[in-house]
Amino acid sequence: MSQLTLTGRVLAFAVRHRLWADGVPVVAAVSGGADSTALLLVLHELAEGGHVNLAGVAHLHHHIRASDADLDAAFVERLAVRLGLSLALEHADVPALARRAGRSLEVAGREARLAFFERLASAPMRPLIALAHTRSDQAETVILRLARGAGPRGLAGMAPSNGSRVRPLLDVDREQLRVWLRERDEPWREDPTNVDATIARNRVRHAVLPQLAELNPAVEEALARAARIQAADAELLDQLATAEAGRLLAVAGEAVTLDRAGLGRLPEALARRVIRRALTMAHPGHTPDWDATEAVLHASVGPMSLGPVRVELFGESAVLSSRVLARTRRADVGTAVTQTLEVPGTLRHPSGWWQLEAAGPTLLAEAAASREAFLETPDSTQAVLDATALGRHLTIRAWRPGDRVQPLGLGGRKKLQDVFVDRKVPRDERPRVPVVVDAQGRIAWVAGHVVGEPFRVTPRSEAVVVLTLRR
The per-residue pLDDT for 431 is 81
Q: Using alpha carbons, select from 64, 59, 67 the residue that is nearest to residue 107.
A: 64
CA pair distance 289, 77, nearest whole angstrom:
43
Cα distances (Å, whole numbers) of residue 400 to 31, 299, 337, 427: 41, 27, 11, 13
Out of 16-20, 67-71, 133-137, 422-426, which region has the weakest mean confidence (pLDDT)? 422-426
The per-residue pLDDT for 366 is 67
The per-residue pLDDT for 174 is 95
Residue 370, phi-psi category: left (phi > 0), alpha (psi -120 to 50), beta (remainder): beta
Mean pLDDT of the chain: 87
pLDDT tens profile 53-97: 999 999 999 988 778 889 999 999 999 999 999 999 999 888 888
Work out the average pLDDT over 169-173. 95
Hey, what amino acid is at 254?
E
3-state secondary structure of 217: coil
Q: What confidence tier does 196 reach under pLDDT thresholds 50, 70, 90?
A: confident
Residue 422 pLDDT > 70, yes or no?
A: yes
Sign of CA dihedral 143, 146, 152, 158: negative
CA pair distance 70, 37, nearest whole angstrom:
16
The per-residue pLDDT for 83 is 97
Work out the average pLDDT over 328-357. 69
CA pair distance 221, 224, nearest whole angstrom:
5
Residue 324 pLDDT > 90, yes or no?
A: no
What CATH class is the domain 3-230?
A: alpha beta
Cα distances (Å, whole numbers) of residue 330 to 280, 325, 333, 394, 442: 21, 9, 7, 23, 22
Residue 46 pLDDT > 60, yes or no?
A: yes
Q: Using alpha carbons, select from 165, 131, 181 the residue that is nearest to residue 31.
A: 131
The per-residue pLDDT for 251 is 83
Do 270 and 293 form a contact (C-beta atoms < 8 A)? no
Residue 378 pLDDT > 60, yes or no?
A: no
Q: Classify residue 59 by its DSSP letter.
A: E
CA pair distance 438, 354, nearest whole angstrom:
19
- Alpha-carbon torsion angle 111, 115, 120, 124, nearest 10: 160
pTM confidence score: 0.67
Out of 115-119, 151-155, 298-302, 382-386, which region has the weakest mean confidence (pLDDT)? 298-302
pLDDT tens profile 225-276: 999 999 999 999 999 999 999 999 998 767 899 999 999 999 999 999 999 9
What is the CATH number that goes with domain 253-327? 3.30.465
Work out the average pLDDT over 282-302. 87
Q: Where are the domains of the chain?
A: 3-230, 253-327, 333-470
Q: Using alpha carbons, select from 399, 396, 400, 257 the residue that is nearest to residue 340.
A: 396
Cα distances (Å, whole numbers) of residue 267 to 49, 236, 261, 270, 455: 50, 14, 13, 6, 30
Q: Which residues contact 424 (CB under 8 A, 6 or more apart)?
A: none
Concatenate the DSSP letters of all residues of 196-224 into one string. Answer: -TTSHHHHIIIIIHHHHHHH-TTHHHHHH
The per-residue pLDDT for 334 is 41
Q: In terms of DSSP H, where are the helices of 58-131?
A: 67-83, 94-101, 105-121
| Residues above pLDDT 90, as percent of the chain | 55
Q: What confidence tier does 375 reach under pLDDT thresholds 50, 70, 90?
A: very low
Q: What confidence tier does 2 reach under pLDDT thresholds 50, 70, 90?
A: very low
More confident site: 384 or 373: 384
